[in-house]
Amino acid sequence: MAEILAESTLIDAVKIEERDCPGGMKLGVITLDAPKSLHALTLEMIRAIDGALVRWADDAAVACVVLQSSTDKAFCAGGDVRSLRTAVAEQAGVVPNPQALAFFAEEYRLDHRIHTYAKPLLVWGGGIVMGGGLGLMAGASHRVVTESTRIAMPEITIGLFPDVGGSWFLGRMPGRSGLFLGLTGAPMNAADALYTGLGDYFLRQEERAMVLDALALAQWQASAQANSEQLDRLLRGFSAPATSLPASEVRANFDAIAVLTQAPTLPEVVAAIAAYDGDSVWLQKAAHSLAKGAPTSAALVWAMRERTRHMSLAQVFQLELIVAVQCCAHADFSEGVRALLIDKDNAPQWQPASLADVKDAYLNEYFTAPWTQHPLADLPI
Write the DSSP string, 263-283.
SSSHHHHHHHHHT--SS-HHH
- Band the pLDDT of 57: cuts 50, 70, 90: very high
pLDDT at 1 over 90: no
pLDDT at site 7: 40
pLDDT at site 227: 98
pLDDT at 85 over 90: yes
pLDDT at site 141: 98
pLDDT at site 14: 98
Residues above pLDDT 90, as percent of the chain: 96
pLDDT at 195 over 60: yes
Average pLDDT, the chain: 96
pLDDT at 4 over 80: no
pLDDT at site 342: 95
pLDDT at 6 over 80: no
Q: Is 175 left (phi over 0), alpha (psi -120 to 50) or beta?
A: left
Q: How far apart are CA 1 and CA 54, in angstroms?
A: 23
Residues above pLDDT 70, as percent of the chain: 97
In contact, 280 and 273? CB cutoff 8 Å: no
- Band the pLDDT of 182: cuts 50, 70, 90: very high
Peptide bond into 375 cis (omega under 30): no
Which DSSP helix (H) or strand (E) runs through 223?
none
In contact, 332 and 294? CB cutoff 8 Å: yes
- Band the pLDDT of 374: cuts 50, 70, 90: very high
- Band the pLDDT of 295: cuts 50, 70, 90: very high
- Band the pLDDT of 94: cuts 50, 70, 90: very high
- Biggest distance spanned by C-alpha atoms of the chain: 64
The string of pLDDT tens digits covering residues 100-126 is: 999 999 999 999 999 999 999 999 999
Bridge-based pairing of strands 62-69 and 121-125 is parallel
pLDDT at site 157: 96
pLDDT at 10 over 60: no
pLDDT at site 8: 40
Q: Say what the pTM is.
A: 0.96
The string of pLDDT tens digits covering residues 119-175 is: 999 999 999 999 999 999 999 999 999 999 999 999 999 999 999 999 999 999 999
- Paired with 188 in beta bridges are 151
Peptide bond into 120 cis (omega under 30): no
pLDDT at 373 over 70: yes
pLDDT at site 93: 87
